[in-house]
Structure 1
Amino acid sequence: MDIMARLADWQIRPPLIEHPSLHRCDDADRLLVDRPGTRLKNLFLRDNYGRRHALLLTRPGKQVDLKALSRQQGWSRIGFASAERLERYLGVAPGQVSVLALVNDVEQQVELWLDEELKDGDDFHCHPLRNTATLLLSRADLLRFAEHTGHPIQWLAVPES
């Protein structure tokens, strides 16, 4: 899929920054990749039974308490989803996850959770279905994107361990 064309169809035209392949948040630090805006950590989660899935966006340094998050959301034992589930539900490989992968979840099987700590953020860093570039998605564009894909944003007070 040409994510840039799809975004343009929705009147979303964020700046694109090309860079070396980044698989994790700390890769950008190690390579001294400097980009303006709000950096994100993207966690693809599943419940204990593999029936429910969520994409959680939080700040890069946050250590999420998954047990507390499970209790808070009423899910049975939240854990990280496998690479196979990531490919099946979001159509991307590990290291390429961002909110933009929800464009591949046409059946809306993945919930979108955003940490309340991001509410004041803007120019959110998002991989455009590949980890060799970053889009700077404004808060307004993020909301528009979520609406177009049918993924309402759930703002959460994400517990930290």
Structure 2
Amino acid sequence: MTSIPKTRKDLFDRLDALNITHSTMEHPPVFTVAESQGLRDQIPGGHTKNLFLKDKKGRYFLVTLEENAEVNLRTIHTLIGASGRVSFGKHEALMEKLGVAPGSVTIFSAINDPGHDVTIVIDAPLMEYDIINAHPLINEATTSIAREDLKRFLADTGHEPMILKVST
């Protein structure tokens, strides 16, 4: 049985319980990096894009990168320890594993993976930013959080992210 996905309020409550400072800006729904470009002047820091991937053995990976980073999907499996080439995970698996819909994929969705079914991978260049921005489980807002606080949040969810250069 799948648990009910956490809400944005649940996420903020968890961050508050960890004494993690965060700020959120509301905006119209954005589904692509291109649609979110207009927010850059208003929200400083590194902006993210996310890839929900599946390997040949059915293992799932959430790869979080800086929004302009590019990835070679034919070779990324050799970097992240996947079994054979990866493909994009299906929408149903995304909802089941991370509790979010397409367009709302975010590193914060680790909160919806208590079984640690998804390996979190963060592209190393993203971690050069002091502030990292991601959707708070929905694509109608952007939440800003300090890099070290993001690591603390992930640790609290039981995820030890792989931080390595996967962008080309």
Normalised by the length of structure 2, the TM-score is 0.88
- SS of the residue 1:58 aligns to: strand
- SS of the residue 2:46 aligns to: coil
Alignment-derived partner of residue 104 in structure 1: 112
- The question of 1:18 aligning with 2:7 is answered no
- The question of 1:85 aligning with 2:76 is answered no
- The question of 1:55 aligning with 2:62 is answered yes
**Matched residue type, 1:64:** V
- Tell me which of 9, 16, 33 is aligned to 1:8: 16
> Matches of 1:125 and 1:93 in 2, distance apart?
18
Q: CA RMSD in A?
A: 1.3
Number of positions where the alignment pairs a residue of Structure 1 with one of Structure 2: 157
1:71: how far off? Answer: 2.2
- SS of the residue 1:67 aligns to: coil
1:68–1:159 CA contact under 8 A, matched in 2: no
1:36: how far off? Answer: 0.8
1:157: how far off? Answer: 1.8
Alignment of 1:1-161 (within 5 A): 1=6, 2-29=10-37, 32-34=38-40, 35-50=43-58, 52-75=59-82, 76-160=84-168
1:159: how far off? Answer: 4.4
Gaps spanning 5+ residues in structure 2: where? Answer: 1-5
1:49: how far off? Answer: 3.2
**1:62-103 Cα deviation digits (max 9, x unpaired):** 221122111233421111111111000000000111111110
Identical aligned pairs, as a percentage? 34
Gaps spanning 5+ residues in structure 1: where? Answer: none
